[in-house]
């Protein structure tokens, strides 16, 4: 039996984007051999998916100047430049810290809202739902000082004490959760932010004193002007690992967003780190604004979530071996969901060059983050609404609001 130290070393190896890609490829290879239980793959339909994604990209960005897939796109929903509000008038370094505070809190709140939830933005009158609604609700909550130790003098902060004390009731009020407007997984979201506060309080190296997520900027800035994207993710997984409730651990190291699949030799573990990678993508712009150069963005993988995964299912690239699988409620950690997510990551790597070819782009000027934004994520949403009136995912996932 491996020692605790050996297990801890193995765990650290799984806390990388490279491990996500490697383990998902193992599942993909098994599917290609017909050895997966839940889905088979029809790669002959992948070109049609690339056509759809390229078409959506051209419609959304006619000049093909596609920004990175990140939380910042959601803050500007409805043509409103809300990002300019963040710590307006503060010095440049504090603006970056405030932007990081916002995006960390907002991404951690970005699990699926449920089809019935809406957020009515008082400042604009816009009624928003899903990821965009969650983004704007989190920004407006921070503007009101919900996460700040001094809401009047310094609202644009996420400080350890108010985060650690955050209750589901306070979050419900800020996000307009009510009997007729339920926000899915409310308690799980509040718990996640409470754990974030506790972790920031106990980790001065990453989060400074007084602790806040925004001090990650100072941590990375001390390490030089060039910051590999893989290092951003590794830091996030290391520093934020303890916040994830009820997940797999190995040698005492929490693995976060990680599942098991029978086709993976040895420990059977398949990491995804969806929210952490989404956060890493979303930190690129603030860090660049703060004078850091982020390199190696394509070291990160595609996101194993229900829009990208739904695109492949709804387009027939992924085919359930048992059609009744689409009708069953599935736990997020169950093997069918793990298999679906792993195949999604591998297929995104195969979709990206096909999309670039159709757009006349290369990997250097059109990284995977642009394919997602252009791209696969909105195409997944569009076909979901074509197939199902409420735009829900093709699989019925039971989760606690801390995964998708």
CA angle centred on 282, ends 350 and 398, rounded to 5° = 70
Q: Give the model confidence (pLDDT) of 59-86 as tens digits.
A: 999 999 999 999 999 999 999 999 999 9
Nearest to 20 by CA among 173, 233, 306: 233
Question: Rounded to a whole number, what is the distance in angstroms from the first to the last CA of the chain?
Answer: 34
Average pLDDT, the chain: 94
Judge whether residue 247 has pLDDT over 70: yes
Judge whether residue 346 has pLDDT over 70: yes
What's the pTM value of the predicted model, to 2 decimals? Answer: 0.94
- 139: tokens are 């920004």
Residues 6+ apart with CB under 8 A from 89: none
Q: Give the pLDDT band (50/70/90) at residue 284.
A: very high
- Phi/psi zone of residue 185: left (φ > 0), alpha (ψ -120 to 50 degrees), beta? left
Q: What is the DSSP string of 367-385?
A: -HHHHIIIIIHHHHHHHHH
Contact 189, 173 (CB under 8 A): no
């Amino acid at each position: 039996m491996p020692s605790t130290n050996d297990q801890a070393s193995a765990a650290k190896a799984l806390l990388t984007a490279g491990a996500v890609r490697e383990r998902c490829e193992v599942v993909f290879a098994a599917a290609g051999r017909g050895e997966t239980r839940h889905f088979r793959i029809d790669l002959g339909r992948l070109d049609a998916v690339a056509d759809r994604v390229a078409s959506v990209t051209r419609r959304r960005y006619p000049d093909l100047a596609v920004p990175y897939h990140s939380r910042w796109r959601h803050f500007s929903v409805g043509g409103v430049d809300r990002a300019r509000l963040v710590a307006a008038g503060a010095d440049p370094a504090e603006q970056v810290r405030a932007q990081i505070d916002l995006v960390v809190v907002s991404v951690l709140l970005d699990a699926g809202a449920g089809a019935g939830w809406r957020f009515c933005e008082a400042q604009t009158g816009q009624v928003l739902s899903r990821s965009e609604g969650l983004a704007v609700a989190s920004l407006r909550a921070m503007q009101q000082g919900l996460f700040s130790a001094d809401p009047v003098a310094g609202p644009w902060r996420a400080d350890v004490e108010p985060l650690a004390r955050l209750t589901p009731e306070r979050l419900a009020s800020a996000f307009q959760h009510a009997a007729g407007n339920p926000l899915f997984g409310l308690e799980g979201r509040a718990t996640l932010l409470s754990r974030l506060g506790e972790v920031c309080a106990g980790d001065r190296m990453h989060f400074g004193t007084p602790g806040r997520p925004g001090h990650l900027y100072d941590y990375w800035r001390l390490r030089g002007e060039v910051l590999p994207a893989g290092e951003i993710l590794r830091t996030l997984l290391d520093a934020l690992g303890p916040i994830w409730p009820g997940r797999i651990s190995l040698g005492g190291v929490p693995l976060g967003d990680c599942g098991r699949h029978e086709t993976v030799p040895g420990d059977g573990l398949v990491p995804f780190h969806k929210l952490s990678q989404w956060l890493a993508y979303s930190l690129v712009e603030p860090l660049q604004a703060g004078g850091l150069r982020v390199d190696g963005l394509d070291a990160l993988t595609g996101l194993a979530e229900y829009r990208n995964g739904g695109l492949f299912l709804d387009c027939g690239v992924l085919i359930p071996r048992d059609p009744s699988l689409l009708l069953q409620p599935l736990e997020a950690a169950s093997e069918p969901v793990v298999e679906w997510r792993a195949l999604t990551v591998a297929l995104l790597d195969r979709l990206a060059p096909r999309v670039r070819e159709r757009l006349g782009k290369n990997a250097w000027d059109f990284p995977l983050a642009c394919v997602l934004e252009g791209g696969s994520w909105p195409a997944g949403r569009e076909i979901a609404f074509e197939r199902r009136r409420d735009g829900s995912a093709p699989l019925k996932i039971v989760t606690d609001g801390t995964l998708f």
